[in-house]
Amino acid sequence: MGVRIRLSRQTLAILDALLVRPGQWHHGYSLSQSTGIPSGTLYPILMRLEKLHWLETRWEEAKTPGRPPRHLYRLSGTAREWAREELRAAQKKHFWTPAGDQV
């Protein structure tokens, strides 16, 4: 069961990135690349979202031998709706704008 919380701009950006292809699994590095959020901020947010049951995670075996398994993330079913609501609300309040709209 997920919990609704107050979200920071960085969290909203991550949710936005996860909602681009909501059914697809995302890697931490690609999320960092698409949002511009450094690893030191990204992972605590992902950890928090996972604790709130907004995020589903799984490990993926490395395709190249000798590399460690990678962690994958996607929004859970209910969380996708909540995330969209939160993003809309934040946009209305001018608290946050999608990356594409920032000119």
Partner 1 sequence: MSTSPKIESVPARCARWLLGCALRHWPEETRPWGMALVAELDETTKPFEAIRWSLGGIMFFTRSWFTSAWKWLKLPAGSSLSNGGPQGSDFLPKRSRFFTVVILVATGLLFLLPESREAFRTVRASWLGFMLTNSDNRTLDELGTRAEKEKDASMLAFVALSTRDPKRSEKLVEESVALDPTLVWIYGAKNHRLDYYPARQEWLDRLEVADPGNAVPLLLAADALAQPKISPRYAEPDYAKLENDPQWMALMERSFTAPRYDSYMQKHFQLMRMMWERDPNLPPEIFLVGMWSHAMPDLRLVRLYGDIRLREAKKAQAAGDTEQSEKIANQVGTFGARMAGSNGPFIEQLIGIVVEHSAQVGLTELYASEGKAEEARVANSKVGELDRAVKGFNRDNPRRAEQIQTLQWEAAFVQGFGILGGIAGLAVILGILELELRSGKNRNRTSVWRRVMCLVSDYAPAALLLASGAFVVCFLPFQRALADFRASAFLPADERRITDALWSLIEVPQYMLGDDAAVAFWSFITITLSVLAISIVVWSWHRTRRAAINPA
Question: Applying CB under 8 A, which residues contact partner 1?
Answer: 25, 27-30, 32, 38-44, 46-47, 60, 62-64, 67-71
CA distances 71 to 55, 61, 103, Å, are: 12, 9, 33
- Between 68 and 100, name the residue whose CB sits nearer to partner 1: 68
Q: Which is nearer to partner 1, 63 or 92 (CB)?
A: 63
What is the spatial distance between Cα 79 and Cα 63, in angstroms, rounded to a whole number?
30
DSSP state of 68: P
Smallest separation, CB 26 to partner 1 (Å): 9
- Of 27 and 88, nearer to partner 1 (C-beta) is 27
Cα 8 to the chain's mean position, in Å?
A: 12
